Amino acid sequence: MNRISTLLIAVALPVAFAAPAIAQEGKTLGTVVNGNTTTTFKAADTRDIDTQKLKTWNAFAAGHPKVASELARKPALINDDAYAKKHPQLGAFFSAHPDVRQAMVANPGNYVAIPPRPGE
């Protein structure tokens, strides 16, 4: 009987500590109601995002906001060699970081986002 109690405590204790972290992933950040449409914003599940690739892209995007904005509005440009030739810094970035480009093509929403306009 004592072994069963010890086993239950050994299983329940880590679950009790992990539950708040698991619940945080689906946390509702806000809700917007516009007419008949309700939009709910929830925290993203970041477990599948390579943060090093994201940091590398964010550093480039901060220095090249126009290119980053255009890619956010039209993610197909990520894989467009003609667009990369028009923007040599982007071409050089993708040449130096092909893994980032591949990740962006696979999941553009993880890397490019349209920044809110003033007042949004």
CA 1-18-4 angle, 5° bins: 5
Length of the chain: 120
How far is residue 84's CA from residue 97's CA, in Å, rounded to a whole number? 13
Q: Are 64 and 90 in contact (CB under 8 A)?
A: yes
The more confident residue out of 73 and 113 is 73
- Give me Rg for the CA atoms of the chain: 21
Residue spans per domain, the chain: 2-42, 46-110
The DSSP bridge partners found for residue 28 are: 42
The more confident residue out of 40 and 12 is 40
**Token pair listed for 36:** 């008949």
State the burial class of residue 83 (Cβ atoms within 10 Å of its Cβ: 0-12, 13-18, 19+).
middle
The more confident residue out of 42 and 71 is 71
In DSSP notation, 18-33 reads HHHHHHHHT-EEEEEE
What is the tens place of the pLDDT at every residue in 22-64? 445 568 888 899 999 999 888 766 777 888 999 999 999 999 9
pLDDT reported for residue 104: 92
C-alpha dihedral (9, 15, 17, 22), degrees to nearest 10:
-170
What is the tens place of the pLDDT at every residue in 84-97? 999 999 999 999 99
